[in-house]
Amino acid sequence: MSSNFELARLFYEMASLLEARDESVFRIRAYQRGAQTLETLGEDVRAVAARGGLTALPAIGKDLAAKIQEYLDTGRLEQLERLRAELPPAFLTLLEIRGLGPRTAKALYEQRGVDSVERLEALCRSKEIIGVAGIREKTCENILKAIAQWRAGRKRTLLPTARAIARQVGEALRAHGGVERLEIAGSLRRMKESVKDIDLLVTSTEPARVIRTLTTLPSIVEVLAQGPTKASVRHQDGLAIDLRVVEPEAFGAALQYFTGSKEHNVKVRELASRRGFRISEYGVFDEATGARVAGATEEEVYATVELPWIPPELRENQGEVEAAREGRLPALVTAADLRGDLHAHTDWSDGHHPLERLVEAAQARGYEYVIVSDHSRSLTIAGGLSIDELRAQVAAIRALQPRFRIRILAGTECDILADGTLDFPDEVLQELDVVLAAVHSRFKQSREEMTGRIVRALGNPWMNVLVHPTGRLIGSREPYDVDLDAVFEAARRHGKAVEINASPDRLDLADTHARRAAALGVPIAISTDTHYLRELDHVELGVGVARRAWIEPAQVLNARPLADLLAWARPDRA
């Protein structure tokens, strides 16, 4: 089986080197997917090749099959060795610096010997890179800022990246045997927007085998610690993975303990000690006799302190223990409660698919409605629509409607201009089914100006949903300065909704803000802001934020049936 892992490692490296050379994303992805297939393949790739079954494997086409055969025959990949010889080993990390493309990085390497982030930083400070590939003084400053962000950003990983890695590693562990149960714990299970590491729990009759698999997986680049039942490793994407093998009778206790948060656990343990119990990752124990009284399931653990099971997203010691004790836990919204998506783009503005594809994809998901909300005329960099184009789009939507079961809502993501007026006149907005409004410019306004601007927009009779209300981009742009409580109060007063934008680097509103808005009675839209069709899947991240915000289906705008949604958005038409 060792060939599987060796080949997977080589394919991952190939993908990175192609990326460094700015090659087509399709080729890069092809190698990444091929590597994932090899990492999770339960049969020796030699045996598969011998029976001519390579191209029947998922993600292995003719090209990759030929590469696999080359390796099996010769023990090497000629193309990979050529690519390796062209670039220094640390070159790939340079490309993690925002704004530094492969071409500039290559010029810096060739002309100034920049082969690491440290050297890049030094030459930026001494200004020795000015003049290379059009770099100016201002570019130097930007690179230094990007390096600082890169350092800060490396500490935490965005939720969807971590989820994808956890899924892939989990699948690989299962494929190589010994795993009975496998669960994700920690902040990832609580759906925090970014995580420090991935915490995995496993039950197994062969702990050593599971540990060995993890520590030798091709996507794992470093073993940080290793023991008979636990291991800590670093994944090639930078984050650490902690794995523990636990006894089935203690699985629930371990899951409860390692899901955290620490603050939640402290609270639960206090309740236990008042009842004469001690809770640890090994179970719940009677302090007097030392006997284990619970541990196989989380329900059992919570039952010993007379609490119902508490959803992981709530376990932040933000009142959930009290709510559980008083029978007031919310019945949290799930993805299945959503009847439509209320923020999506098409190639009429900066989306990457025709209108029809969006509608098909949304209908295939079983939605009752989907909005078309392209940008408005002032946002020229995103291909904002003129009034004529918007009207033509509405006509196109109405013409398309008879071919679909799903209702297509004509909308816009209308810019909120600097003075708080909207980018389209009222008589145009009135023609649409649902109007979104957003700030896309003049982010540096004072708190008073920005608050006044958004509050004024909320007063427009035809706008319905304030989208990505703080404008933040996680890890790269701070939210603009705005009094959110004043915004939520205005939304409540005018009967408007606010959005949880599910785009992974936005997640805007954030959990704590969304909880405040919902508590005031402001309806919450959970939308994807889809620009690529696969982003419709991001809805899960938005639902995660909503659940962390204690939100129930009744508080969610797009959990309403179509008729209710339309009656709310366009009462004049009823």
Among 39, 197, 316, 433, binds Ca ion (CB under 5 A): 197
Stretch binding Ca ion (CB under 5 A), from 178-186, 363-371, 455-463, 561-569 = 178-186
- What CA–CA distance (Å, rounded) separates 5 from 418? 56
Closest contact distance (angstroms) between CB of 305 and ligand DGT is 15
Stretch binding Ca ion (CB under 5 A), from 63-71, 179-187, 244-252, 398-406 = 179-187
- State yes or no: residue 187 binds ligand DGT (CB under 6 A): yes
Beta carbon nearer to Ca ion, 170 or 340? 170
- State yes or no: residue 186 binds Ca ion (CB under 5 A): yes
- Kindly compute the dihedral angle of the four CA atoms of residues 319, 325, 331, 332, in this order, to the nearest 10 degrees: 30
Site for ligand DGT in 231-260 (CB under 6 A): 257-258, 260
Find where tokens 């069709």 sit. 533
Please, how many CA atoms are within 13 Å of residue 106, restricted to the half-sphere of its CB?
11
- State yes or no: residue 393 binds ligand DGT (CB under 6 A): no
- State yes or no: residue 151 binds ligand DGT (CB under 6 A): no
- What CA–CA distance (Å, rounded) separates 504 from 352? 18
For residue 258, the partner it binds in ligand DGT, Ca ion, none, with Cβ less than 5 to 8 A by kind, is ligand DGT
Number of residues that bind ligand DGT (CB under 6 A): 13
- State yes or no: residue 193 binds Ca ion (CB under 5 A): no
- State yes or no: residue 261 binds ligand DGT (CB under 6 A): yes
- 4: nearest Cα among 195, 311, 217: 217
- State yes or no: residue 195 binds ligand DGT (CB under 6 A): yes
143: number of Cβ within 10 Å: 22
For residue 488, the partner it binds in ligand DGT, Ca ion, none, with Cβ less than 5 to 8 A by kind, is none
- 73: nearest Cα among 50, 101, 40, 107: 50
Beta carbon nearer to Ca ion, 186 or 351? 186
Closest contact distance (angstroms) between CB of 320 and ligand DGT is 14
3-state helix, strand, coil in the chain (%, to 5): 50, 15, 35
Closest contact distance (angstroms) between CB of 156 and Ca ion is 10
Closest contact distance (angstroms) between CB of 538 and ligand DGT is 20
- State yes or no: residue 494 binds ligand DGT (CB under 6 A): no
Among 13, 39, 193, 197, binds ligand DGT (CB under 6 A): 197
For residue 170, the partner it binds in Ca ion, ligand DGT, none, with Cβ less than 5 to 8 A by kind, is none
Question: What are the CA-CA distances from residue 408 to residues 399, 477, 531, 533 (Å)?
Answer: 10, 33, 17, 16
- State yes or no: residue 316 binds ligand DGT (CB under 6 A): no
Please state whether beta strands 194-195 and 157-158 pair in parallel, antiparallel, or not at all (unpaired): antiparallel
Q: Are 466 and 454 in contact (CB under 8 A)?
A: yes
Beta carbon nearer to Ca ion, 48 or 166? 166
Among 178, 186, 283, 312, binds ligand DGT (CB under 6 A): 186
Beta carbon nearer to ligand DGT, 265 or 376? 265
Q: Are 374 and 569 in contact (CB under 8 A)?
A: no
- What CA–CA distance (Å, rounded) separates 251 from 230? 14
Q: Are 103 and 22 in contact (CB under 8 A)?
A: yes
Question: What are the CA-CA distances from residue 348 to residues 144, 355, 387, 392, 463 (Å)?
Answer: 37, 8, 13, 10, 21
- State yes or no: residue 511 binds ligand DGT (CB under 6 A): no
- State yes or no: residue 160 binds ligand DGT (CB under 6 A): no
Beta carbon nearer to ligand DGT, 76 or 262? 262
- What CA–CA distance (Å, rounded) separates 136 from 132? 8
Q: Are 454 and 487 in contact (CB under 8 A)?
A: yes
Stretch binding Ca ion (CB under 5 A), from 134-142, 181-189, 201-209, 230-238 = 181-189
- State yes or no: residue 312 binds Ca ion (CB under 5 A): no
Closest contact distance (angstroms) between CB of 269 and ligand DGT is 7
Query: Per residue in 497-520, is it b (16+ CB within 10 Å) or e — as a string?
Result: bbbbbbbbbbbbbbbebbbebbee
For residue 260, the partner it binds in ligand DGT, Ca ion, none, with Cβ less than 5 to 8 A by kind, is ligand DGT
For residue 523, the partner it binds in Ca ion, ligand DGT, none, with Cβ less than 5 to 8 A by kind, is none
- Take residue 153 and report the two structure tokens written for it: 């950003």
Q: What letter does residue 90 receive in the DSSP assignment?
A: T
Beta carbon nearer to ligand DGT, 100 or 243? 243
Residue 47 CB contacts under 8 Å (≥ 6 apart), including other chains: none
Number of residues that bind Ca ion (CB under 5 A): 4
- State yes or no: residue 265 binds ligand DGT (CB under 6 A): yes
- What CA–CA distance (Å, rounded) separates 106 from 125? 19
Beta carbon nearer to ligand DGT, 232 or 530? 232
For residue 213, the partner it binds in ligand DGT, Ca ion, none, with Cβ less than 5 to 8 A by kind, is none
Among 13, 39, 115, 199, binds Ca ion (CB under 5 A): 199
Q: Are 170 and 147 in contact (CB under 8 A)?
A: no
Sheet with 277-280, strands from edge to edge, namely 277-280, 283-286, 292-294
Beta carbon nearer to ligand DGT, 197 or 320? 197
Beta carbon nearer to ligand DGT, 199 or 313? 199
Sheet with 465-466, strands from edge to edge, namely 340-341, 369-372, 407-415, 434-438, 465-466, 497-501, 524-527
Site for Ca ion in 100-139 (CB under 5 A): none
Residue 332 CB contacts under 8 Å (≥ 6 apart), including other chains: 311, 313, 314, 546, 547, 550, 551, 552
Stretch binding Ca ion (CB under 5 A), from 147-155, 180-188, 296-304, 318-326 = 180-188
Closest contact distance (angstroms) between CB of 129 and ligand DGT is 36
- What CA–CA distance (Å, rounded) separates 514 from 531? 23
- State yes or no: residue 230 binds ligand DGT (CB under 6 A): no
- State yes or no: residue 479 binds Ca ion (CB under 5 A): no
Positions touching ligand DGT (CB under 6 A) are: 186-187, 192, 195-197, 199, 257-258, 260-262, 265
Positions touching Ca ion (CB under 5 A) are: 186-187, 197, 199
